[in-house]
Amino acid sequence: MSSTRTTPPSPAGTGRSVRRPGDRVFAGTAKGAGILILVILAGVAAFLVVEAVPALTAPAEDIPGDRGLAGYIAPLVFGTLLAAVIALLVATPLAVAIALFIAYYAPRRMAQGLGYLVDLLAAIPSIVYGFWGIFWLAPKLVPFYEWLERRLGFIPLFAGPASTTGRTMLTAGLVLAVMILPIVSAISREVFLQVPSLHREAALALGATRWEMIRMAVLPYGRSGVIGGSMLGLGRALGETMAVAIVLSVSGGITFNLISSGNPSTIAANIALEFPESSGIDINTLIASGLALFVITLAVNMLARAIVNRRADFSGAN
């Protein structure tokens, strides 16, 4: 004797099924969490704006450096963007290559070990990266910087004089590149592994080599994911504090010279270094620079979302 289980009929005239209490609780919790995030974000923005107003309205001579608020923040914004762009340019190709090797070239056991090893880089504290950069990486790069000055000194990026300590903007960018490498690599690897096997097998059945299969099937499918991971890494590089504060030798304004001792600082590193000794309008100035970093990070995230959505319409996933 068999019995069938019937679902409760929906209320007359509604045309919808009855939601269980657990579903309603989960939906309410998820909605509340989303609203809470927006409230916190709005609260942070309001705090930054309110605390930055005194610096925005203060005379130029009251701002540190006597150059006004724009003259104070501009080199910091430039240094922040320059270090982050260097990190992104170095880390993204390397992260994609690592992700492809782990996903499609390495043997299974080796791929698991390499994946864990790369992911462990994200667990290392930033201050450890800073010590590694200043005591090991920077001295090792001094001969390379001297070579760049001799051979490529006609390019403004390597005009020199080369730093004798190695604490340059290029060194800071390389340290940041290592720090964002696990983020970009992990996201890219997961996206590449989600490529439908039908796409890969179809390319191989048509006589494509492994690299041709990756170029025609894997990379188009995962392009939007790689862009999204790169933007997440860029956000990490924009807000990094201790590693840059330790590695970078700050003694200059806006300059594209990557191998000299005169380097602009970044917003986050400048706040960390100057805040303990600041008071009054100086604190408001630092908060105003933090507001600039907040706006930059928000703009980067919005741009990343727009790029990912646009690229997804033309990716191999569709």
* Residue 122 near residue 175, CB atoms below 8 Å: no
Q: In angstroms, rounded to a whole number, what is the distance separating the alpha carbons of residues 2 and 19?
A: 27
Q: In angstroms, rounded to a whole number, what is the distance separating the alpha carbons of residues 214 and 123?
A: 30
User: At which residue do the structure tokens 């309110």 appear?
Assistant: 50
Please check whether residue 197 lies inside any domain of the structure: yes
> What pLDDT digit, counting tens, does each position of 78-98 carry?
999 999 999 999 999 999 999
Q: In angstroms, rounded to a whole number, what is the distance separating the alpha carbons of residues 300 and 237?
A: 12
> What pLDDT digit, counting tens, does each position of 151-178 carry?
988 888 898 788 888 899 999 999 999 9
60 three-state secondary structure: helix
Q: In angstroms, rounded to a whole number, what is the distance separating the alpha carbons of residues 239 and 192?
A: 28
Q: In angstroms, rounded to a whole number, what is the distance separating the alpha carbons of residues 176 and 120?
A: 16
Please check whether residue 103 lies inside any domain of the structure: yes
Residue 234, token pair as written in the block: 């860029």
CATH code of 219's domain: 1.10.3720.10
**pLDDT bracket for residue 17 (50, 70, 90):** low
Instruction: Give the C-alpha distances (Å, rounded to integers) separating 93 from 87, 97, 131, 172, 217.
Output: 11, 6, 25, 18, 18
118-138 mean pLDDT: 90
> What pLDDT digit, counting tens, does each position of 239-249 carry?
888 889 899 88
Q: Show the CA angle centred on residue 225, arms to residues 213 and 228, nearest 5°.
A: 150
- More confident site: 295 or 66: 295
- Give residue 292's domain range: 58-317
Distance of CA 262 to the CA centre of its chain: 25
Please check whether residue 154 lies inside any domain of the structure: yes
318 three-state secondary structure: coil
Please check whether residue 17 lies inside any domain of the structure: no
Residue 268, token pair as written in the block: 């986050």
What is the reported pLDDT for 6?
52
Instruction: Give the C-alpha distances (Å, rounded to integers) separating 222 from 12, 112, 122.
Output: 47, 20, 22
Q: What is the 3-state secondary structure (H, E, C) of 187-214?
A: HHHHHHHCCCHHHHHHHHHCCCCHHHHH
Structurally, how many domains does the chain consist of?
1
What is the reported pLDDT for 69?
84
241 Cβ neighbours under 8 A, 6+ residues apart: 126, 268, 269, 271, 272
Please check whether residue 128 lies inside any domain of the structure: yes
123 Cβ neighbours under 8 A, 6+ residues apart: none
Q: For the packed helices 68-100 and 169-193, what is the interaxial angle rounded to 10 degrees?
A: 40
Q: In angstroms, rounded to a whole number, what is the distance separating the alpha carbons of residues 134 and 139?
A: 8
Residue 195, token pair as written in the block: 């490529």
Please check whether residue 76 lies inside any domain of the structure: yes
> What pLDDT digit, counting tens, does each position of 166-220 carry?
899 999 999 999 999 999 999 999 889 888 888 888 888 888 888 889 988 888 8
Please check whether residue 70 lies inside any domain of the structure: yes
Rg (CA), the chain: 25
**This prediction's pTM:** 0.84
Q: In angstroms, rounded to a whole number, what is the distance separating the alpha carbons of residues 230 and 123?
A: 18
35-52 mean pLDDT: 92
**pLDDT bracket for residue 137 (50, 70, 90):** very high
Sign of CA dihedral 105, 107, 110, 115: positive
Rounded to the nearest integer, the mean pLDDT of the chain is: 85
Alpha helix segments (H runs only) across the chain: 21-57, 68-100, 108-120, 126-132, 138-152, 169-193, 197-205, 210-213, 219-239, 242-247, 267-274, 281-312
Please check whether residue 29 lies inside any domain of the structure: no
What is the reported pLDDT for 9?
53
Residue 292, token pair as written in the block: 């600039």
What is the reported pLDDT for 1?
46
